[in-house]
Amino acid sequence: MAVIGAGSWGTALALLLARKGMTVKLWAHRQDHVEELQANRENRAYLPGFTLPENITVSSELAQVLPGAATVLMVVPSHGYRTVFGRLKELLAPEAVVVSASKGIENDSLMTMTQVMDEERPGGRYAVLSGPSFAREVAAGQPTAVTVAAGDLGVATRVQELFFTETFRVYTSTDVIGVELGGPLKNIVAIAAGICDGLGYGTNTRAALITRGLAEITRLAVKMGASPLTMSGLAGLGDLVLTCTGELSRNRHVGVQLGQGKTIDTIQNEMKMVAEGVKTTRSVWHLARKMQVEMPIMEQVYLVLYEGKRCREAVNTLLQRDQKEEMVLFSR
C-alpha cells in the first residue's frame, strides 16, 4: 500500500492501514521531513502524538514507494496534485487503484482530482474517499464514517474493504462527482461559518449558514451531474456540519481569524497546514459562473478573501438579498 502525502490526513490514513497489519509505504515531499519521520517515528510537524509503527516506511522517492502497490492513496493538496500525479503515473501498476483523499478543485482547469488523474492517465481505475473525518480523531481511533465512490462499484467495494476497521466505517457509492465535490465546497461554507463566529454571531446564524450553504453546494453539484441524495449524506451534509462546527477545522479557523480582523495573508503565514478552502474559493467562483449557478455565500467569501471586502459588510449583503422561496427543485 502506498500513501502519497505525509501531512496530517495522509499520516492518519497510513496509521489506520498499518494498524490493520498492512505494509505501508509513505511518501513525503521533502527529504528533511522524511528524515524527521524516520528519526522520531512521529509526524511532529503535522500530527504529533502518534507513533509510526515499524510497518510504515517513509521515503521522498516515488520509485521506492510505488512499485508493487496494488492501491495508491493520493493525499496531496489540490494545487500540487497534477504535478505529483504526473511524476508517479508511469510508475503505477496497470491494474492499480488510485484513491484520492484530497479535497480541492484545481484552480486553472476547474477539475476535480479524479478528473485531473483521468486527463493525465486516461482509463485508469480511480476512486475518491471523503466524509466527516478530522485526521487527529481518526488517528486516535475515534468512531468515524466516510464514503468511497468509484464508477465501478466493484472498485468501490474493494477500497471499502481495504479501509474498513472497527472504528472506521466505510460506505460505497458510484456518484464520484457528488462525493468528490462535497469536500471542497463545504470548505468555503466553513470559512463563512468561521467568519460569523469571529464576528460574535450565535448558533442561529451558524445553523442558517450551514443550511443555506448546503443548498448552494447541492445546486452546483447537481448541475455538474451529482445526485442530490449524495449531498445529504456523509460526503455532503456530514462533512459540512463537521467542518463548520469542529474546533479542529482549519477552514473554520481561517474564517474566525478573518472575522476577528486579521488579513488572509497574516492568517496563512501563521498556519503550518493548508486550508484548502482559500484556494478552492477562487476555483468555485469561476466554476459557478461557468455553470451559471447562483452561490451567494461563496460569492461573499470570495469578495472577503480576494477583494478585501469587510466581513460584517459581507454578512449584511447576504441578509439584505431579495426574499425568496426556500425549497426550489434542483435540476441538472
pLDDT digits (tens, 9 = 90+) for 97-154: 999 999 999 999 999 999 999 999 999 999 999 999 999 999 999 999 999 999 999 9
Proportion of the chain above pLDDT 70, given as a percent? 98
Residues 53 and 196 in one domain: no
Q: Average pLDDT for residues 203-229, to the nearest whole number?
A: 96
Task: Note whether residue 330 is domain-resident.
Answer: no
Model pLDDT, residue 328: 67
Residues 112 and 194 in one domain: no
Residues 198 and 69 in one domain: no
Q: Which of 174, 199, 218 is the last residue of a domain?
A: 174
pLDDT confidence band for 332 (50 / 70 / 90) = low
Q: Which of 174, 190, 224 is the last residue of a domain?
A: 174
Residues 163 and 46 in one domain: yes
Task: Note whether residue 326 is domain-resident.
Answer: no
Model pLDDT, residue 109: 96
- Write the pLDDT tens digit of every residue in 253-312: 999 999 999 999 999 889 877 778 899 999 999 999 999 999 999 999 999 999 999 999
Model pLDDT, residue 258: 97
Residues 119 and 132 in one domain: yes
Proportion of the chain above pLDDT 90, given as a percent? 93
**Annotated catalytic residue 25:** no
C-beta neighbour count of 62 within 10 angstroms: 17
Q: Which of 186, 223, 290, 324 is catalytic?
A: 186
Model pLDDT, residue 197: 97
Q: What is the 3-state secondary structure (H, E, C) of the chain?
A: CEEECCCHHHHHHHHHHHHCCCCEEEECCCHHHHHHHHHHCEECCCEEEEECCCCEEEECCHHHHCCCCCEEEECCCHHHHHHHHHHHHHHCCCCCEEEECCCCCCCCCCCCHHHHHHHHCCCCEEEEEECCCCHHHHHCCCCEEEEEECCCHHHHHHHHHHHCCCCEEEEEECCHHHHHHHHHHHHHHHHHHHHHHHCCCCHHHHHHHHHHHHHHHHHHHHHCCCCHHHHCCHHHHHHHHHHHHCCCCHHHHHHHHHHCCCCHHHHHHHCCCCCHHHHHHHHHHHHHHHHCCCCHHHHHHHHHHHHCCCHHHHHHHHHCCCCCCCCCCCCC
Task: Note whether residue 278 is domain-resident.
Answer: yes
Residues 105 and 119 in one domain: yes
Domain of residue 147: give its range. 2-174
Task: Note whether residue 32 is domain-resident.
Answer: yes
pLDDT at 175 over 60: yes
Q: Average pLDDT for residues 189-193, to the nearest whole number?
A: 97
pLDDT at 324 over 90: no
Instruction: CATH number of the domain at 121, please.
Output: 3.40.50.720
Task: Note whether residue 186 is domain-resident.
Answer: yes
pLDDT confidence band for 331 (50 / 70 / 90) = low
Residues 140 and 280 in one domain: no
Q: Average pLDDT for residues 23-33, to the nearest whole number?
A: 97
pLDDT at 233 over 60: yes
Q: Which of 124, 139, 174 is the last residue of a domain?
A: 174
- Write the pLDDT tens digit of every residue in 106-118: 999 999 999 999 9
Residues 152 and 211 in one domain: no
Task: Note whether residue 329 is domain-resident.
Answer: no
Residues 184 and 253 in one domain: yes
Residues 23 and 135 in one domain: yes
Strands 56-59 and 24-27: parallel
CA distance 16 to 165: 8
Residues 35 and 13 in one domain: yes
**Number of structural domains, the chain?**
2
Instruction: CATH number of the domain at 223, please.
Output: 1.10.1040.10
Residues 77 and 195 in one domain: no
- Write the pLDDT tens digit of every residue in 62-77: 999 999 999 999 999 9
Task: Note whether residue 331 is domain-resident.
Answer: no
Q: Rounded mean pLDDT of the chain?
A: 95
CA distance 109 to 116: 9
Task: Note whether residue 327 is domain-resident.
Answer: no
